[in-house]
Structure 1
Amino acid sequence: MSQALAQKMIDAYIAAELDVLDGKTVTVNGKTMGSEDLPAIIAGRKEWERRLNAYSSPNAGFGQAQF
């Protein structure tokens, strides 16, 4: 996964949120969603934001040792 892909997915989820809030149905990753799916859309956006933020974390790619 790349940062560009993560940002593209975040943008898609934001567009889906806006469309659903406007009363439309949307298709994300092959799944058609409507207003009842708004919590799932928000959760998907947050997951992709978490993945994107992992790239900018000071410890990206490194685990933390506990002593």
Structure 2
Amino acid sequence: MAWDLETARKHLDAWMEANLAVSTGQSYQIGSRNITRANLSEIQKQILFWRREVDRLENGRSGMRVVRVVPRDV
């Protein structure tokens, strides 16, 4: 899927906010109800993904790399 830089930044910001929310407490209990927040490792994976996407879009890279290999018989 293709997205623009603004969308990628919004996603990164949202995941950063989620990370802050989880850092204040992974789970808590009110009376008989127990609330568990999202998985911290999944949030960190998403932050890394969106950070790379923002960098890629800011720098104009397509994300694909071409390497030329010349086989030699030595």
What is the aligned partner in structure 2 of residue 30 from structure 1?
Answer: none
**Structure 1: 4+ residue segments shifted above 2 A:** 61-65
Q: Flag structure 2 segments of 5+ consecutive residues without an equivalent.
A: 28-35, 70-74
Q: Percent identity?
A: 21
Query: Which protein is bigger by CA-based radius of gyration?
Result: 2
- Which one of 21, 24, 30 corresponds to residue 22 of structure 1? 24
Deviation of residue 57 (structure 1)? Answer: 3.4
Aligned length: 58
Q: Flag structure 1 segments of 5+ consecutive residues without an equivalent.
A: 26-32
TM-score normalised by structure 2 residue count = 0.63
> RMSD of the alignment, in Å?
2.4
- In 2, the alpha carbon distance for the partners of 1:57 and 1:64 equals 17
Q: When you count helix as a share of all residues, which structure comes out higher?
A: 1
